Amino acid sequence: METFDRPLPAGADWTIPQDWDRYTAAEHAVWDTLFERQAKLLEGRVATEFVDGLDVLRMERPGIPHFGKLSERLMKLTGWEVIAVPGLIPDDVFFDHLANRRFVSGNFIRSPQQQDYLQEPDVFHDVFGHVPLLTHPVFADYMQAYGLGGRRAVALGAIKNLARLYWYTVEFGLIRHDRDLRIYGAGIVSSRSESVFALDDQSPNRIGFNLERVMRTKYRIDDYQQNYFVIDSFDDLLRQTLDTDFAPIYQRLARQPDIEIDTILSGDLVYSQGTHNRARARLAQE
């Protein structure tokens, strides 16, 4: 994330006005289509906490939510607000917003031609994907803790390790639900194809969450994940992170090799060992 080719916004905090009035009817329609499609697909697949949180977005329908109004609701629930940014922002600025319970969202929405994949986080990924869980008090605290931890990781030169924690929880996390697994990561819930793949496909590993294991594991940004890590509950996630001093962990991690994307370790709690067929097939095509 070295280059930022968008024009620098006015503030040093990278925020911009949402400009809600500027959305066209076609843009609101993209939101509505994606919202209905995902809400239906996620029934029985997503964490119940996410389903409960979706109500806060339903209240803003139809169309792309107005961040000011959405923030009023969210503020009452967990003290979070949603603010607009032009796209990806520098790590330290991102952490600072989270540490202050401000969730940043892209203000633009994907085009109808890009309905299934895009690189930069748009308002559908950011708001549909992330905001529902921000209504949950424990998850809301976890996100703030991540922001505070981010500041420390910058100082300790350990962003790479901490970013993996974000990736494998907030973006691509799975959670136990009775005897099954369910989705809670925003990168999965906002993707039609990955919300099926992450739970049903034979290809990826599904492994019990362990903080140090996760922070050592590489990930891919160009395709579906080859590892998903499974938490027992949000309380458990918060316990494994908030009550932990990361400084000695970072020191240990600096002396250990990264874990390759298709590796299973002897200490892993394996929910399913992946075939990695999808990754192999893709490699063969190249």
Burial class (CB in 10 A: 0-12, 13-18, 19+), 104: buried
Measured from the CB atom, is 32 or 91 closer to ligand HBI? Answer: 91
Residue with tokens 């240990």: 252
Alpha-helical regions (H) of 192-276: 192-200, 211-216, 234-242, 246-254
Cβ-proximal residue to Fe ion, closest one: 186
Q: Which residues of 58-94 are buried (b: 16+ CB within 10 A; e: fewer)?
A: eebeebbbebeebbebbeeebebbbbbbbbbbebeeb
Q: Which does 186 bind (CB under 5 to 8 A by kind): Fe ion, ligand HBI, none?
A: Fe ion
Q: Quick one: residue 44, left, alpha or beta (phi over 0 = left, psi -120 to 50 = alpha)?
A: left
Q: What is the x/- site pattern for Fe ion, positions 184-203, by CB under 5 A?
A: --x-----------------
The correct pick among 65, 121, 129, 274 for binding ligand HBI (CB under 6 A) is: 121
| Shortest reach from residue 285's CB to ligand HBI, in Å | 29
What's the rounded Cα separation, in Å, for the pair 212 and 9? Answer: 37
**Cβ proximity of 147 and 95 under 8 Å:** yes
> Hey, what are 62's tokens?
């139809």
Size, binding site for ligand HBI by CB under 6 A: 11
Binding of residue 166 to ligand HBI (CB under 6 A): yes
Q: Which does 88 bind (CB under 5 to 8 A by kind): ligand HBI, Fe ion, none?
A: ligand HBI
Pick the closer one to ligand HBI by CB: 64 or 181: 64
Report the SS3 class of residue 189. helix
Q: Which of residues 22-41 bind ligand HBI (CB under 6 A)?
A: none
| Distance separating alpha carbons of residues 82 and 71, to the nearest angstrom | 6
The answer to the question of residue 131 lying near Fe ion (CB under 5 A) is no
Q: Print the binding letters for residues 74-93 with ligand HBI: x by CB under 6 A, - otherwise.
A: -----------x--xx-x--
Residue 253, interface with Fe ion (CB under 5 A)?
Answer: no
Pairing of strands 227-231, 174-177: parallel
How far apart are CB 140 and ligand HBI at their closest, in Å?
A: 16
Segment lying near ligand HBI (by CB under 6 A), choices 38-46, 47-55, 159-167, 235-243 = 159-167
What is residue 134's three-state secondary structure? Answer: helix
- We find the least distance from the C-beta atom of residue 119 to Fe ion, in angstroms, to be 12
The residues binding ligand HBI (CB under 6 A) are 1, 85, 88-89, 91, 94, 104, 121, 159, 163, 166
The residues binding Fe ion (CB under 5 A) are 186
